[in-house]
Structure 1
């Protein structure tokens, strides 16, 4: 039976995942985070417009264009620490990258300038360590972290670290942060961050040594 014109304009989450070339859970993450707009039918099934999926494909291409090339799938990913830095201040973002790249660690570093772009990158390739600001244009860090925590089971290895100029009272006033999120106050103590990153790296590498 041919689809009607109306049905041809919408996709199920599974169809959207196939069109985007990602896992179904990734589409669910993007829907929860507002990266991919969707609505529910009377029967409770999510539907996504085909135009929104095509737009997201274009945005993914734009967001990932010019990023440092990730190692090929044949390389040993378990020997590299995947770190995503999310910061809208270009000078601070460059500083973070310079310091992290100077660590004596095998690091695969990627960046984003807001929560929307970060969710795109996380959906494509989940980092081991997420370093993020809270105050950002568009989707801020609060909303991004809340979305990720809703899908924590699929990303249980992900460690989230917040770097912010906000004090505890202001963070609490804006809804607070989930348990387990480490908070550093700007200016960032890079020595403490490096210690935390090495601990995370060692924890992830531990199963390989058993």
Structure 2
């Protein structure tokens, strides 16, 4: 966006983050992905248009009211992602499921859609599950999100990746879908 043609109100990235209830890094990622309109000052600081922040807020407020629990699946293996979807949808639980293939897309979708449960792999391209979870931990808006990690990594490999917060539930691959169903049913009871 060209500053000389710009007349609408601008916000700093921190002001945008505060209004949207997300971390500063999430706003930076949204700017890079084009979800928010912004430009850089000559000093290298980003300025976000107030109208793009308002559009994103309005989009979140006008989503249809739905009593189902929103679950986001972050998994880069396309076949495994399809298997998750088929299994979860076959259970007939009050769930709305969406999926992404990496942590950047995950953070964007979480900001837009506000899922109550995240099921995530740890090894993904661009931004892995470790980094995505760390970003989520920085935002008070996501402190009540339930996170389930499904991984083939060993405890030593998880520790080498920086470990996981104690609130994250860990499940191992190969995943028994009956175990995931039990876990989700318990979480659904907690959320309702």
After TM superposition, the score normalised by the length of structure 2 is: 0.75
| Structure 2 equivalent of residue 13 of structure 1 | 13
1:131·1:162 contact (CA, 8 Å) conserved in 2? yes
In the aligned structure 2, how far is the partner of 1:94 from the partner of 1:166? Answer: 21
| Structure 1 equivalent of residue 90 of structure 2 | 102
Whether 1:133 aligns to 2:133 is no
Superposition deviation, residue 14 in structure 1: 6.7
Q: 2:71 aligns with which of 83, 87, 90?
A: 83
Shift of the 155–15 alpha-carbon distance from structure 1 to 2, 3 Å rule, reads closer
| Structure 1 equivalent of residue 46 of structure 2 | 48
2:16·2:27 contact (CA, 8 Å) conserved in 1? no
1:16·1:27 contact (CA, 8 Å) conserved in 2? no
Aligned length: 171
DSSP 3-state at the match of 2:127:
coil
Unmatched runs of 5 consecutive residues or more in structure 2:
33-37, 57-61
DSSP 3-state at the match of 1:109:
strand
Superposition deviation, residue 90 in structure 1: 0.3
DSSP 3-state at the match of 2:122:
coil
| TM-superposition CA deviations, 1:110-159 (whole Å, max 9, x none) | 000000001111001111110011111101101000000111x3223310
Superposition deviation, residue 24 in structure 1: 2.6
| Structure 1 equivalent of residue 21 of structure 2 | 25
Q: 2:145 aligns with which of 155, 158, 180?
A: 158
| Structure 2 equivalent of residue 68 of structure 1 | none
1:85·1:132 contact (CA, 8 Å) conserved in 2? yes
After TM superposition, the score normalised by the length of structure 1 is: 0.69
